Amino acid sequence: MSTPNLLPSSSIPGMFADTEEAMVMDSDCLDDSWMRRPLIPITIPEHLTFNPEEEHARLHRQYLLMLEQAFSGTDSNTGIEESDETDAFLADEFRALDLESPTDEEDIANFFNGITKDKDYAPYPNKTTALLDILDNLPRLRLSTSQMQMILWLLKETGATDVPSYKVFRQLQADLRELCGSSPKAYTSGLGNHFYVNDIRDSVARDFSNPEIARHLQFYPEETDGPISEVWQAARWKEFSPAQLTPMYARGLRQFYIEELAQLKDGSYVIPHNWIIRDKILHADCTDASFSPEGWTVSSTTRSVAASEFELNFEDIVARLGDSDIVWKDKTTIPEMPNPLRKLAQGDDLYVVMIPVWADDVSGNKSKQYNKHINLYMVNSCLPGHLLQQEYFIRFVSTSPHATSPEQFSALRDQVRETETNPVRCFNAHTKRPCRFILRVPSLPADNPQQSEEASHIGGNGNMGCRKCHTGGPHEHTESDFGYDALHYEGVFRTAQEIRDELQKQLRQAMYGVEKTVSDMQTATGVKDKVAQHWIEQLLAKAKDLKQADPSRSIESVAEELQKWFDDQPGDKINPLLDIAGLDPSQDTPVEILHTILLGIIKYIWHMVHTSMSDTDRDLFAIRLQATNIDGLTVPPIRAAYMMQYRNNLIGKHFKTLMQTMAFHVHDIVTPAQFRLIKAAGALGALLWVPEIENMAQYLKDLDTLIGNVLDAFGDVDPSKILIKIKLHLLPHLLSDIRRFGPAIRNSTEVFECYNAIFRLCSIYSNHQAPSRDIALKFCGMDRLRHMISGGYYWSDGDKKWVQAGKSVLDILHSKPIIQRHLGWVAPTKLTPGLIRMKSKKKAIPVEWSMTKASEYSTRLNVPLSSLWRHGTTVTAQSGDRCAIGSWVIFKDDAMSDLYYVGRVYELLIHEQGASSDATQLVTLESFNLGDSLHPDFDCPVLQRVDSLGGKDFTVIESKLIQFIISVQHDCRLMHCRASLLQPQVQERQIMEKTNHTISHSDDEHFIINMFALHNATLLRKALPRSLTTPRPLYEDRRAHHAEIASLLRTTQAVKRAQTQEKRKATLASNRAKKQAAEEARKEKAPEHDGEYEGEMISDEEEAEESHDEQIPPPRKHRRGGRGTGRS
């Protein structure tokens, strides 16, 4: 019996299930075109019966596919809200203007033949095309196709004769990319996802051939007892073996390789084993070699030899010996000579370049609609850290809405490993000769969830929540005295080999088909890898199928068959980062202070504080915060009312401001325990945001105390916080990370987060059909432009040499500040310490010396009373700070003195006639005394005005004696300052009649040095006595304190678990009752049937509704940025 059906054939249940035809027809149904087709009656064959389970499973698979496409951005409508709204309207207009007429090679040739070429703008044909290319490739000023076409049309309408058509212009850019740029390379991952990658080897090669970059490159680790500010001065580079670092030192065309015999200028022979900088001079650790009739011998002692002492390398020595071989007495201890790396270099200089790689999920939209992409960026960490904070030095690697970060890391891994056997040849703009380089990945900066994923870790919400060590466990352990105390310290470190072995065990266990065993292993160890999980799920499914097919089959035979199948599969089986030489993802993912401190610790504290405030307290805190003296803080103007109104939606800059100022404004608002926590967090932040570390041992000791204070203060406020927030436990890991990588701000990801704005502009102006390719191609264009106008060299086939762009192109970067800003390049500025900026001549009326405040206190200066002086506005300190009237500064009274003083700028004077007196630029300062002890409440140094017989006391000094600016706050707590002062509101730059309350300071005598301020924190601690800066622990016996808290915690957590269990039981009972009532109601409404099919059809809507309740679970809520490993 057959039944007629008027539905499209693709909707027939099970008709072509799991066949090619089914896939084709299902894809046809993704649009609504089939609804407009005529309905064709068809017949269902009698042997095909309707199977609800198969149909529901097929629908569910289709639903999951659509859901995946929606969240991966493959929907054709993705990003419509972000597209240029004028494009659709202008398209017809441009066609009418004939701006998109077909262009062939003859048209292109006619354009280039019809214009006058200017060699000063080479490789551009002329100035117009050069400026158009610059305009089209400015990172933060992206232009759509329509806008660029309008610009070209506008130029033609003004009468310009050398303006290319749009297609000729694009062809010109393609030719330039071929000449001195690069193009994205296509990759297909082991999971079948397609994406494009900008080759990191091309990016590093451009760094070498860019004179603005090459002169800053540092290739050797450094040993120093002085300030540590760079990663090569810390321990991380020294962890690589000498063969993994730059293996040679070049002097002229002669290269001295490690593990090769060399001769010194004094005639002695040595074998250098590594190259390292000591006392700012390159040295090698060498063993002496000597010749004897029995053969060459090597001493057992090592000595340090300066690179300048080397005279002849191994090749020179062999050439001198002629046919004689170098015979060693004990060959077992002698390395292979010549060094195999010399052969790889093929006569060129050989360097090793360190490239930290950043990854994260980023929205391709500017609106709230999330358009998820996984992005990879990199930097060249052979450059000084202060340069790497500029967008100019960030390099885009890849992006994809489909491929995960491990898939993209796989492509990067392949590129890195290829350089080890085939070093990349390029031009060194510093030495002016070709060289080669090998790539290493020393670190993986990112936020904590991404770093967990990179470290094959289960995530911060797992029992073993730390990616770096084995601290953690079930609550029975973490709530015990020992387990709770262990959370406050670093545990036993994880290692890459250990992770690799654990993943192999999980994969092997999956072949036995027991999912719970694998899950238990992941829970117990905290090791869970996204790549391995893909194979684990397949192995579990295949093991289940094999067992069902033959229940009598042994488990071992099933596992053996699956092992053979698994070994034959292509692609990565585990995290590709585990295959990069010298990289340990568990330890080389340094704790990142933006997400861990600002968006972690400070955010937790802010939530604790503002949720415990009443409305009156919030108003009072906002008034106090608004009255903060921000001079010396380098923070944007505080918008306290905004921050309080949107207190649950603050961002990093707000938390950075709160960290530095909150302690001074919460008195009488928060509890004593909360106040201690706020102070502890502020002190920790000030010690972390430092660009250099004067004494590493002392610094780490102070940091250890401050981290302990923060954790113990958190325990006093909320003992369970460290159990649920992994960022608290990560704080102790800052100690080892700073020892290995240098100052914590060198691992900050703020610059990468800022760079995401450029990525979003590229994404918005993509047509979203091939976003990975379009975005990568646009970044190639920006990199090419940056390289060309920076004077970068590129190979010219015509000239057969490395050349630069024309003179006029090179002048653009250095002569046009607006271009510098758009490229993210901060030009080096020469500061003149002591320089006073004068007011405009209209305002700076000359006054006689006797009319100045300085004349009353300048007993040491020989200044004529009738001399004329002008008032200034700012003075440049030795640190480069610009200090204005009212700024608090640290100064010396004599250039040769080691004593520092604190004062407030009162007057700035510039002599009218120049050098006609002892000093031509003077600063008058209000004098303050530094207290011998810390403030009893704020734990900060105190200042009190120095009174003379006539009242205030002043000091007059030469402007060059100003050292640096500091942040000072009034002691409102001691003086009981009130919000009793009214000040007019300013709206639209107009002073209004409306007023706001602000703080009225009770006096101008008592102040506090803000030790929570980030700016000049290192300089301030050097200037103050050690007794005022030494951190003091909150608890001397921390372990005893932790045991006391753990005892209370066990009681409270047991109560919480009991309450949660009762609530869960009540919810389950309620849900069962509702389900039972619904089932009974459905049965009452359902028609009675005898259980046999008699030709009456059930509508598709009814069947789908019933089966959905029974078979298809509701979709999971997708969290923005979630990775499946637990976001902390």
| Residue 281 sits in the same domain as residue 417 | no
Tens of pLDDT along 916-929?
444 789 999 999 99
Judge if the upstream peptide bond of residue 590 is cis by omega within 30 degrees of 0: no
| Residue 935 sits in the same domain as residue 1011 | yes
| Residue 647 sits in the same domain as residue 669 | yes
- CA–CA separation, 296 and 462 (whole Å): 59
Q: Over range 207-228, report the average pLDDT.
A: 96
pLDDT of residue 1123: 44
- CA–CA separation, 471 and 426 (whole Å): 46
Flag whether 1078 is in a domain: no
Predicted confidence (pLDDT) at residue 1014 exceeds the cutoff of 80? yes
- pLDDT band at 38; cut points 50, 70, 90: low
Lowest mean pLDDT among 534-538, 598-602, 973-977, 1106-1110: 1106-1110
Predicted confidence (pLDDT) at residue 108 exceeds the cutoff of 90? no
Which pairing describes strands 42-43 and 941-945: parallel, antiparallel, or unpaired?
A: unpaired
Lowest mean pLDDT among 74-78, 437-441, 593-597: 74-78
pLDDT of residue 111: 76
- For residue 881, what are its two tokens? 């700070």
| Residue 1024 sits in the same domain as residue 932 | yes
Flag whether 528 is in a domain: yes
Lowest mean pLDDT among 116-120, 492-496, 721-725, 1062-1066: 116-120
Q: pTM for this structure?
A: 0.86
| Residue 438 sits in the same domain as residue 472 | no
| Residue 524 sits in the same domain as residue 657 | no
Return the closest-CA partner of residue 149 out of 162, 167, 176, 122: 167
Lowest mean pLDDT among 101-105, 235-239, 607-611, 1073-1077: 101-105
Flag whether 519 is in a domain: yes
pLDDT of residue 1108: 38
Contact 646, 902 (CB under 8 A): no
pLDDT of residue 89: 52
pLDDT of residue 1087: 60
| Residue 645 sits in the same domain as residue 717 | yes
Flag whether 758 is in a domain: yes
Predicted confidence (pLDDT) at residue 829 exceeds the cutoff of 90? no
Lowest mean pLDDT among 313-327, 765-779, 797-811, 995-1009: 313-327
How many CB atoms neighbour CB 411 within 10 A?
24
Q: Over range 303-325, report the average pLDDT.
A: 90
Positive or negative: CA dihedral 196, 201, 202, 207: positive
Torsion of CA 424, 179, 815, 126, to 10 degrees: 170
Predicted confidence (pLDDT) at residue 157 exceeds the cutoff of 60? yes
Give ∠ CA 224-228-233 in degrees, rounded to 5. Answer: 60
Return the closest-CA partner of residue 398 out of 370, 358, 433, 425: 358
Which pairing describes strands 269-278 and 222-223: parallel, antiparallel, or unpaired?
A: parallel
Instruction: For residue 944, give its domain range.
Output: 836-1028
- pLDDT band at 549; cut points 50, 70, 90: very high
**Count of helices and strands (H, E) across the chain:** 38, 36
pLDDT of residue 844: 78
Lowest mean pLDDT among 103-117, 276-290, 487-501, 618-632: 103-117
pLDDT of residue 48: 52
Judge if the upstream peptide bond of residue 636 is cis by omega within 30 degrees of 0: no
Predicted confidence (pLDDT) at residue 1105 exceeds the cutoff of 80? no
1033: buried, middle or exposed (CB in 10 Å: 19+, 13-18, 0-12)? Answer: middle
| Residue 670 sits in the same domain as residue 605 | yes
Domains held by the chain: number: 6
Mean pLDDT of the chain: 88
Predicted confidence (pLDDT) at residue 455 exceeds the cutoff of 90? yes
Flag whether 545 is in a domain: no
Tens of pLDDT along 642-679?
999 999 999 999 999 999 999 999 999 999 999 999 99
Predicted confidence (pLDDT) at residue 830 exceeds the cutoff of 90? no
Three-class SS of residue 501? helix
Order of all β-strands in the sheet with 424-428:
349-354, 433-440, 424-428
| Residue 173 sits in the same domain as residue 193 | no
Tens of pLDDT along 677-688?
999 999 999 999
Contact 22, 15 (CB under 8 A): yes
Predicted confidence (pLDDT) at residue 72 exceeds the cutoff of 60? no
Predicted confidence (pLDDT) at residue 1118 exceeds the cutoff of 80? no
Tens of pLDDT along 1040-1099?
999 999 999 999 999 999 999 999 999 999 999 999 999 888 888 766 554 444 444 444
pLDDT of residue 1083: 84
Q: Over range 458-470, report the average pLDDT.
A: 96
**Considering 823, 850, 872, which residue would you say is the last residue of a domain?**
823
- pLDDT band at 58; cut points 50, 70, 90: confident
- CA–CA separation, 785 and 173 (whole Å): 10
Flag whether 801 is in a domain: yes
- pLDDT band at 950; cut points 50, 70, 90: low
Q: Over range 14-39, report the average pLDDT.
A: 41
Predicted confidence (pLDDT) at residue 794 exceeds the cutoff of 70? yes
Tens of pLDDT along 181-207?
999 999 999 999 999 999 999 999 999
pLDDT of residue 323: 61
pLDDT of residue 404: 96
Tens of pLDDT along 855-895?
988 877 788 888 899 999 999 999 999 999 999 999 999 88
pLDDT of residue 68: 61
pLDDT above 90 coverage of the chain, percent? 76
- CA–CA separation, 1105 and 240 (whole Å): 62
pLDDT of residue 1113: 40
Task: Give 21 or 1000, the one with higher predicted confidence.
Answer: 1000
- CA–CA separation, 28 and 6 (whole Å): 17
Flag whether 230 is in a domain: no
Predicted confidence (pLDDT) at residue 12 exceeds the cutoff of 70? no
**Considering 996, 1028, 1060, which residue would you say is the last residue of a domain?**
1028
Task: Give 914 or 697, the one with higher predicted confidence.
Answer: 697
Q: Over range 957-981, report the average pLDDT.
A: 95
- CA–CA separation, 1034 and 678 (whole Å): 13
**Considering 823, 851, 885, which residue would you say is the last residue of a domain?**
823
Flag whether 561 is in a domain: yes
- CA–CA separation, 645 and 625 (whole Å): 13
| Residue 720 sits in the same domain as residue 648 | yes
- CA–CA separation, 926 and 946 (whole Å): 8
- pLDDT band at 778; cut points 50, 70, 90: very high
Predicted confidence (pLDDT) at residue 54 exceeds the cutoff of 80? no
Predicted confidence (pLDDT) at residue 82 exceeds the cutoff of 50? no
pLDDT of residue 922: 95
- For residue 1059, what are its two tokens? 């309450």
Predicted confidence (pLDDT) at residue 691 exceeds the cutoff of 50? yes
Q: Over range 1035-1039, report the average pLDDT.
A: 96
- For residue 1074, what are its two tokens? 């509702």
Q: Over range 716-736, report the average pLDDT.
A: 97
| Residue 1013 sits in the same domain as residue 877 | yes
- CA–CA separation, 311 and 270 (whole Å): 11
| Residue 489 sits in the same domain as residue 612 | no
Task: Give 67 or 523, the one with higher predicted confidence.
Answer: 523
